[in-house]
Amino acid sequence: MNGRTKLAGRAVYLVDGARTPFIKARTEPGPFRASDLAVWAGQALLARQPFGPAALDEVILGCIAPTADEVNIGRVAALRLDCGDRVPAWTVQRNCASGMQALDSAAQSIAGGRAELVLAGGTEAMSHAPVLWDTPAVAWLGRVSSARSPLERAKAIAGFRPGYMKPVIGLLRGLTDPVVGLSMGQTAEILAARFGLTRAMLDAYAVTSHERLAAAQAAGRLGEIVPIIDARGRVHDHDDGVRPDSSVEKLAKLKPVFDREFGLVTAGNSAQITDGAAWLLLASEEALAKHGLTPLARLVDVEWAGLDPRQMGLGPVHAIAPLLARRALSLEDVEYLEINEAFAAQVLACLAAAADPHYCRGALGLEQALGTIDAARLNVDGGAIALGHPVGASGARIVLHLAHVLAARGARRGIAAICIGGGQGGAMLLERE
Amino acid sequence: MKSELEAPTSTVSGEPIALPGARHWQALRDADGIVWLGLDRADESANSLCAEVLEEFGAALETIAARAPRGLVIHSRKPQGFLVGADIREFEHFADPAAAEREILRVHALFARLETLPFPTVARLHGPCLGGGLELALCCRHRVALEDAETTLGLPEILLGLHPGAGGTVRAIERLGVAAAMDLMLTGRQLDARRAQRLGLVDRVVPARHLDRAARALIMNAPAVRRPPWWNGIAATSVARPLVARLLRAQVAKRARPEHYPAPYALIELWERHGGDRAAMLRAEAASIARLFFTPTSRQLQRLFFLQERLKTFGKTAEMQDAPRVHVIGAGTMGGDIAAWCALRGCRVTLADREAKFVAPAIARAHEAFRRRLRDPYARAAAIDRLVVDLAGDGLERADIVVEAIVEDLAAKRALFAHVNAAARPEALLATNTSSIPLAAIAEELPVPARLVGVHFFNPVDRMQLVEIVTTPQTDPDAATRAAGFVRRIGRLPLPVASAPGFLVNRILAPYLQEAMQLHEEGVPLAAVDRAALAFGMPMGPLELADVVGLDVCLAVGKVLAGASGATVPAVLGRQVAAGRLGRKSGAGFYRYRSGKKLAPREAGDGGLPAADVIDRLVLRLVNEAVACLHERVVADADLLDVGMVFGTGFAPFRGGPIAYARERGSDAARARLVELAGRYGARFEPHPGFESCFS
Q: Is the domain of B513 the same as that of B617?
A: yes
Indicate the number of domains in chain B. 3
Q: Is the domain of B531 the same as that of B585?
A: yes
CATH at A102: 3.40.47.10
Q: Is residue A232 part of a domain?
A: no
DSSP output for B604-615:
-S-TT--HHHHH
Indicate the number of domains in chain A. 3
> What confidence score (pLDDT) does residue B112 get?
98
Assess A227–B contact: CB distance below 8 Å, yes or no.
yes
Torsion angle (degrees, nearest 10) of CA A352, A357, A361, A366: 100
A358-397 CB burial, b ≥16 within 10 A, e <16: ebbeebbebeebbbebeeebbbbbbbbbbbbbbbbbbbbb
Distance CA B196, CA B373 (A): 17
DSSP output for B376-424:
SHHHHHHHHHHEEE-TT-GGGGG-SEEEE---S-HHHHHHHHHHHHHHS
Instruction: Tell me which chain A residue has its CA closest to the CA of residue B389.
Output: A44
Q: Is the domain of B183 the same as that of B260?
A: yes
**Cis link prior to B460 (omega < 30° from 0)?**
yes
Residue where a domain terminates, one of B251, B279, B294: B294
Q: Is the domain of B279 the same as that of B350?
A: no
Domain boundaries, position B261: 15-294
The H-assigned helical ranges of B160-277 are 168-176, 178-187, 193-199, 211-220, 231-235, 240-253, 262-274
pLDDT-derived band at B4, boundaries 50, 70, 90: low
Distance CA B495, CA B62 (A): 47
pLDDT-derived band at B566, boundaries 50, 70, 90: low
Nearest to A118 by CA among A270, A275, A236, A280: A280
Q: Is the domain of B83 the same as that of B193?
A: yes
Least reliable range by pLDDT among A273-277, B234-238, B349-353, B574-578: B234-238
Q: Which residues have C-beta within 8 Å of that of residue B597, sequence separation ≥ 6?
A: none
Distance, in angstroms, between B361 CA and closest chain A CA?
5
CB atoms A231 and B389 under 8 Å:
no
Q: Is the domain of B488 the same as that of B517?
A: no
> What confidence score (pLDDT) does residue B616 get?
96
Q: Is residue B300 part of a domain?
A: no
Distance CA A38, CA A120 (A): 10
DSSP code of A277? E
Q: Is the domain of A342 the same as that of A400?
A: yes
What one-letter code names the amino acid at A95?
N
> What confidence score (pLDDT) does residue B130 get?
98
- Using DSSP bridges, classify how beta strands A23-24 and A297-306 pair: parallel, antiparallel or unpaired: unpaired
Q: Is residue B306 part of a domain?
A: no
Q: Is the domain of A363 the same as that of A324?
A: yes
B chain contacts of residue A80, beta-carbon cutoff 8 Å:
381, 385
Residue where a domain terminates, one of B498, B518, B548: B498
Instruction: Tell me which chain A residue has its CA closest to the CA of residue B348.
Output: A82
Q: Is the domain of B510 the same as that of B493?
A: no
- Using DSSP bridges, classify how beta strands B204-206 and B348-352 pair: parallel, antiparallel or unpaired: unpaired
B chain contacts of residue A233, beta-carbon cutoff 8 Å:
360-361, 363-365
Q: Is residue A257 part of a domain?
A: no
- Whether the CB-CB separation of B291 and B97 falls below 8 Å is answered with yes
> What confidence score (pLDDT) does residue B1 get?
43
Q: Is residue A228 part of a domain?
A: no
**Of A96, A128, A210, A404, which residue is the catalytic one?**
A96
> What confidence score (pLDDT) does residue A1 get?
60
Strand order across the beta sheet in which B34-39 lies = B15-17, B25-29, B34-39, B71-76, B121-125, B142-146, B204-206
Assess A48–B contact: CB distance below 8 Å, yes or no.
yes
DSSP output for B533-572:
HHHHT-SS-HHHHHHHH-HHHHHHHHHHHHHHH-----HH
Q: Is residue B310 part of a domain?
A: no
Domain boundaries, position A365: 184-222+264-269+300-427
Ramachandran assignment for B468, one of left (phi > 0), alpha (psi -120 to 50 degrees), beta (any other) = beta
Distance, in angstroms, between B169 CA and closest chain A CA?
44
> What confidence score (pLDDT) does residue B687 get?
95
Distance, in angstroms, between A228 CA and closest chain B CA?
8
* Dihedral sign of CA atoms A158, A161, A166, A172 in order: negative
Q: Is residue A198 part of a domain?
A: yes
CB atoms A47 and B357 under 8 Å:
no
Q: Is the domain of A281 the same as that of A422?
A: no
Assess A82–B contact: CB distance below 8 Å, yes or no.
yes
Mean pLDDT over the full length of chain B: 94
pLDDT-derived band at B3, boundaries 50, 70, 90: low
Distance, in angstroms, between A48 CA and closest chain B CA?
5
Mutate to test the interface with A, among B389, B391, B398 (most CBs of A within 10 A): B389
Contacts of residues B592-600 at CB distance under 8 Å and 24 or more positions apart, as own/partner, are B593/B547, B598/B544, B598/B547, B600/B527
Distance CA B545, CA B583 (A): 9
Task: State whether residue A425 is helix, strand or coil.
Answer: strand
Q: Which residues have C-beta within 8 Å of that of residue A151, sequence separation ≥ 6?
A: none
What is this structure's pTM?
0.92
Q: Is the domain of B221 the same as that of B262?
A: yes
DSSP code of A165? G
Q: Is the domain of A336 the same as that of A310?
A: yes
Q: What would the pLDDT profile of A161-188 be if each residue is shown by its tens digit? A: 888 878 777 777 778 888 999 999 999 9
CATH at B459: 3.40.50.720
**Of B47, B288, B421, B506, which residue is the catalytic one?**
B506
DSSP code of B686? S
pLDDT-derived band at B322, boundaries 50, 70, 90: confident
Q: What would the pLDDT profile of A85-102 be if each residue is shown by its tens digit? A: 999 999 999 999 999 999
Nearest to A159 by CA among A147, A177, A174: A147
Distance, in angstroms, between B338 CA and closest chain A CA?
17
Q: Is B435 a catalytic residue?
A: yes
Q: Is the domain of B271 the same as that of B381?
A: no
**Chain B residues within 8 angstroms (CB to CB) of chain A:** 348, 350, 356-357, 359-361, 363-365, 367, 381, 385, 388-392, 394-395, 398
Q: Is residue A3 part of a domain?
A: no
Q: Is the domain of A156 the same as that of A195?
A: no
Q: Which of B350, B357, B367 sits opposite A47 (nearest CB)?
A: B350
Q: Is residue B8 part of a domain?
A: no
Q: Is the domain of A207 the same as that of A305?
A: yes
**Is residue B218 exposed (0-12), middle (13-18) or buried (19+ Cβ within 10 Å)?**
buried
Q: Is the domain of A284 the same as that of A312?
A: no
Q: What would the pLDDT profile of B387-423 be if each residue is shown by its tens digit? A: 999 999 999 999 999 999 999 899 999 999 999 999 9
Q: Is the domain of A206 the same as that of A347?
A: yes
Q: Is the domain of A410 the same as that of A322?
A: yes
Q: Is residue B315 part of a domain?
A: no
Task: State whether residue A124 is helix, strand or coil.
Answer: strand
Q: Is the domain of A124 the same as that of A136?
A: no
Q: Is the domain of B670 the same as that of B624?
A: yes
Q: Is residue A174 part of a domain?
A: no
Distance CA B99, CA B294 (A): 12
Distance from chain centroid for Cα B342: 18
Q: Is the domain of B158 the same as that of B242?
A: yes
Q: Is the domain of B517 the same as that of B494?
A: no
Q: Is the domain of A162 the same as that of A212?
A: no
Q: Which residues of chain A have pLDDT under 70?
A: 1
Element (H, E) at B489: helix B477-489
Q: Is residue B530 part of a domain?
A: yes
Assess A54–B contact: CB distance below 8 Å, yes or no.
no
Q: Is residue B492 part of a domain?
A: yes
Distance CA B555, CA B573 (A): 6
- Whether the CB-CB separation of B157 and B185 falls below 8 Å is answered with yes
B chain contacts of residue A237, beta-carbon cutoff 8 Å:
356
- Is residue B676's pLDDT more than 80? yes
Q: Is the domain of A137 the same as that of A201?
A: no
**pLDDT average, residue stretch B125-146:** 98
Least reliable range by pLDDT among A36-40, A356-360, B567-571, B581-585: B567-571
Nearest to B69 by CA among B121, B7, B1, B11: B121
Instruction: Tell me which chain B residue has its CA closest to the CA of residue A52.
Output: B398
Residue where a domain terminates, one of B479, B498, B517: B498
Ramachandran assignment for B686, one of left (phi > 0), alpha (psi -120 to 50 degrees), beta (any other) = beta
Q: Is residue A366 part of a domain?
A: yes
